[in-house]
Amino acid sequence: MSDVIAKVISRKGTCEAHKVGDEFVMGEQTPPNVCSWAFHSLFPFAQVLQFGGSFPWEKDKNKAIVACPDPTNQVMFELRCASPSRRRSRGQTTKNKPK
């Protein structure tokens, strides 16, 4: 399982919680000073990346771009695996690591 880092990559409107460049580690609980609405939106995507999954619409399998649900104060986040080299490729288990 990899840590997933969330980074604010853009902000439109007047979001009071986040500014471009903010970063935090995604876990099972909302990190301090992170908007709970944004966390709720990011969490399912972070879980996929944490456990080695990816999204077919993303060019980089170790990243996902996710938007905050506030339509008037939209914040865009980039989720990325902190250690992508430790991720398993599809179908790989601990017993059949590539040599």
Q: Is the pLDDT of residue 84 over 80?
A: no
Instruction: Give domain status of residue 31, yes or no.
Output: yes
Q: How many domains does the chain have?
A: 1
Q: Is 18 helix (H, G, I), strand (E, B) or coil?
A: coil
Element (DSSP H or E) covering residue 47: helix 36-50
Global pTM reads 0.78
30: in domain: yes
Residue 91 is predicted with a pLDDT of: 40
Tell me whether residue 78 is in a domain.
yes
Distance, in Å, from the CA atom of 12 to the CA atom of 49, rounded to the nearest integer, reads 26
94 found inside a domain: no
CA dist 26 and 47 (Å) reads 9
Domain-embedded: residue 91: no
Domain annotation covers residue 36: yes
CA dihedral over 60, 68, 76, 46, signed as positive or negative: negative
Q: What is the average per-residue pLDDT within 72-99?
A: 64
The residue range of the domain holding 70 is 4-86
Q: Evaluate whether residue 62 is within a structural domain.
A: yes
- pLDDT at residue 95 in the model: 42
- With a cut of 90, say whether residue 23 has pLDDT above it: yes
Q: What's the pLDDT at 11?
A: 93
pLDDT tens column, 24-77: 998 777 788 888 889 999 999 999 999 999 999 999 999 999 999 988 889 999
- Tell me if 76 is assigned to some domain: yes
